[in-house]
Chain A
């Protein structure tokens, strides 16, 4: 039996990136919402709600980068130089917000204020940078052979800026709906207000980004049935469940916010993200470096992919198992006594 190893690895990396977005998305979203908290105590509760899990969530980003290096080295070697500045900006921002989890507790008055600002600013900047990376990726990368051959600011366009702003709204929605699930009282009331606002902005920007995406590259429009001013319903019809999923997601978000019901609104937001993720993938798949390198051309040697698959088969179930266990352990509403400090 021979396995289609590049295809399996494309699925693994795609899943890792999706899990990163869904998990670290609410971490970053809570940072984005940080300035709007009513009191320092509320900010402490917001941070406590993610303190035990943020490190594990960010590890999916390491798997995304390390996994791309290991499974699709040619894509890694082309994309990272192409997106150099936004990637570095993301890393710097993640450093500042990451250390803030500990530093906020040890700082005195000015220190605490500084690291509160660093957490909020770092989360916002990291999200914008991820949006620029995503926008720069979707609009395509200039290659010569298998190496990057474009300029240092190719990623900076109105389209990528639009995607970046949309991602900020989306992560804020994830953060707000996560807080509805994990907090109670006044903070939860506030989180519901944030969630309404973020959901509305996300819905509008998702629609705008979707339209802009059809315009940004003719190949994407063709995938959705639009070509030279003509429109092909037979191409579009099978893809309709994707935007429908987004609409259903928004409905679930609304229902969940209205009732402040457990994780319902977060799950709705996840459906919206899934719809956006798959919708974008339709535009560039099977390319892993849009639009001149597909995942097979970028794949590592079969013996390396095979060896790593053995590792994944053994270790990934364990990782998922203990990750779920940790979330289960820290389930329930966050009280004022969650910290160890």
Chain B
């Protein structure tokens, strides 16, 4: 494509590295919030629905508490998301030209189908208490939740196409054209990756809710609302965490099929062979084309990745050095993700056992402490997972089609350093303050009796309990 020629490349190398850093930083920051709000929106819809059906006050207390946390997180997700819709052009203009004919409509659909829906009904959800009835308020919450899922659908669809482009052709001038929209939208890795991300968001939310509830119980004793929150979270760990393992494995099988270089990096396989060992830990070194150090289980690698020790699995040496992803980052990010996933499964099993066999998880201090410690684990796992996906796709931005180095805008390093510094300062401020305010809310807790002036005026939940409507 038009844009950066070979001569320009060396000159613009700094702008390229800075742009990559900036994109990694801004998108990693952004993903923290959707991975929480996708789950939290669904959780709020469930809480409000359950309250409307059962009239159990604890559901109401939980809703009114978590909606405040939701408002803070959602706001941070929105403003950090606006950045991304412009950054593709400011820093990745060549990518924009190349990719737009194929994934342009997918991103446009995300805006049209999801962003407006979320933004408009969020207003009703937060401020519409005395303006709409309980039913319509519940519908608004549900529409926000649906909006977050539609958003996830389209962005994962676009990303899946970039991971494994299908349904397009290359014109003589090098431009791309979609030939089969169905194949573009539902590219082969999409179903597993979409499920993987939504489950990750649900787990992340459940871990935060579980951690906050457990902290509350440790401090103030087992009141209704935090106990209910804890038990709902344990239910999610017990069901979703093992399910996530299965979906993640399916997703990994797709990676082996369509991105063997990424799989080789994930497992630090260098040689192509049968009976690949499984490396529990390793120090992969690209220069040495091998692992400087490894703790391995023989044959297990082939078994895990391909289902049988006798299957041949490709190693990194099968790919030219310039086509190999950075193996160290991918290898360790994957182990962080899977390690945390295993801990989540353990937490679910432990909590489930406590619910089944004892007075309840509320009375087990070790469990409550473990739940608190695991509160932020979902965020770490989500970021680690995206590092595997995105760094593992390198050196390509559109796999096999466009190299990241060729995708950058014709801009100077000075501007990008300035913008990167700006993002680092602003994000450091809003992140630390946002986290502080959320933690402060969690410390205040859900079951604090609302003062008169605090009650959302004329809210349907309050009104239906017999309080006078103004």
- Which residues of A are in contact with B by a Cβ distance under 8 Å? 51-53, 55-56, 58-59, 61-63, 65-71, 73-74, 76-81, 84-85, 87-89, 91-92, 94-96, 98-99, 101-103, 106-107, 111, 145-149, 152, 300-301, 303-304, 307-308, 311-312, 315-316, 319, 322-323, 326, 329-330, 337-341
> How many contacting A-B pairs (Cβ < 8 A)?
233
B236-280 CB contacts (< 8 Å) to partner A: none
On chain B, the residues within 8 Å of A303 by CB distance are 177-178, 181
B100 engages A73 (CB within 8 Å): yes
B82 engages A58 (CB within 8 Å): yes
B104 engages A71 (CB within 8 Å): yes
State how many angstroms separate the Cβ of B365 from the closest Cβ of chain A: 30
State how many angstroms separate the Cβ of A261 from the closest Cβ of chain B: 24
B124 at the interface (CB under 8 A from A): yes
| Binary A-proximity of B113-139 (CB < 8 A = 1, otherwise 0) | 101110111111011110110000000
CB-nearest residue of chain A to B408:
A81
A311 engages B82 (CB within 8 Å): no
Q: A80-B86, A81-B409 given as contacts; is B79 within 8 A of A99 (CB)?
A: yes
On chain A, the residues within 8 Å of B434 by CB distance are 99, 103
B422 engages A316 (CB within 8 Å): no
On chain A, the residues within 8 Å of B409 by CB distance are 77, 80-81, 84, 148
Q: A69-B89, A96-B426 given as contacts; is B410 within 8 A of A147 (CB)?
A: yes
B412 at the interface (CB under 8 A from A): yes
On chain A, the residues within 8 Å of B127 by CB distance are 51-52, 330, 338-340
A58 engages B93 (CB within 8 Å): no
Q: A102-B72, A152-B411 given as contacts; is B96 within 8 A of A73 (CB)?
A: yes
**A/B interface sample: 28 pairs, CB < 8 A:** A52-B128, A62-B85, A63-B111, A70-B105, A73-B104, A76-B89, A76-B96, A77-B89, A81-B90, A81-B93, A81-B409, A84-B90, A95-B80, A99-B430, A103-B72, A103-B434, A107-B437, A111-B433, A145-B2, A152-B415, A300-B101, A303-B178, A311-B112, A312-B112, A315-B112, A319-B112, A329-B132, A340-B129
B71 at the interface (CB under 8 A from A): yes
B72 engages A307 (CB within 8 Å): no
- Which residues of B are in contact with A by a Cβ distance under 8 Å? 2-3, 67-68, 71-72, 75-76, 78-83, 85-86, 88-90, 93-94, 96-97, 100-102, 104-105, 107-113, 115-117, 119-124, 126-129, 131-132, 175, 177-178, 181, 409-412, 414-415, 418-419, 422-423, 426-427, 429-430, 433-434, 437, 440-441, 456-457
On chain A, the residues within 8 Å of B181 by CB distance are 303, 307
CB-nearest residue of chain B to A65:
B85
CB-nearest residue of chain B to A303:
B178
Bound form: Cα–Cα A87–B430 in Å: 20
Give 3 nearest A-B pairs by CB, closest first.
A80-B89, A70-B104, A73-B100
Q: Which of B108, B427, B437 contacts A308 (CB 8 A)?
A: B108
Q: 10 new A-B pairs (CB below 8 Å) besides A51-B123, A55-B120, A311-B105?
A: A55-B119, A67-B108, A81-B93, A81-B409, A84-B419, A99-B79, A102-B437, A106-B440, A147-B3, A311-B109
Bound form: Cα–Cα A316–B419 in Å: 34
A301 engages B177 (CB within 8 Å): yes
Q: Which of A88, A308, A311, A330 contacts B90 (CB 8 A)?
A: A88
Q: Which of B80, B81, B83, B90 contacts A80 (CB 8 A)?
A: B90
Interface of chain B: mostly helix, strand, loop or mixed: helix
B93 engages A76 (CB within 8 Å): yes
Q: Which of B2, B111, B120, B415 contacts A66 (CB 8 A)?
A: B111
Interface of chain A: mostly helix, strand, loop or mixed: helix
State how many angstroms separate the Cβ of B358 from the closest Cβ of chain A: 38
A148 engages B108 (CB within 8 Å): no
B415 engages A94 (CB within 8 Å): no
A87 engages B86 (CB within 8 Å): yes
Q: Which of A58, A92, A147, A329 contacts B2 (CB 8 A)?
A: A147
Bound form: Cα–Cα A48–B112 in Å: 26
CB-nearest residue of chain A to B73:
A102
A62 engages B412 (CB within 8 Å): no
CB-nearest residue of chain A to B128:
A329
Bound form: Cα–Cα A104–B41 in Å: 23
State how many angstroms separate the Cβ of B13 from the closest Cβ of chain A: 17
Q: Which of B116, B178, B418 contacts A85 (CB 8 A)?
A: B418
A96 engages B430 (CB within 8 Å): yes
On chain B, the residues within 8 Å of A341 by CB distance are 68
A311 engages B128 (CB within 8 Å): no
State how many angstroms separate the Cβ of B179 from the closest Cβ of chain A: 8
Instruction: Find the residue from A91, A103, A329 having the highest chain B CB count within 10 A.
Output: A91
B86 engages A59 (CB within 8 Å): no
On chain B, the residues within 8 Å of A106 by CB distance are 72, 437, 440-441
Q: Which of B82, B178, B422 contacts A301 (CB 8 A)?
A: B178
On chain A, the residues within 8 Å of B81 by CB distance are 62
State how many angstroms separate the Cβ of A150 from the closest Cβ of chain B: 10
State how many angstroms separate the Cβ of B101 from the closest Cβ of chain A: 4
Q: Which of A68, A88, A304, A323 contacts B116 (CB 8 A)?
A: A323
B126 engages A340 (CB within 8 Å): yes
On chain B, the residues within 8 Å of A89 by CB distance are 422
State how many angstroms separate the Cβ of B31 from the closest Cβ of chain A: 16
CB-nearest residue of chain B to A298:
B97
Bound form: Cα–Cα A231–B275 in Å: 85
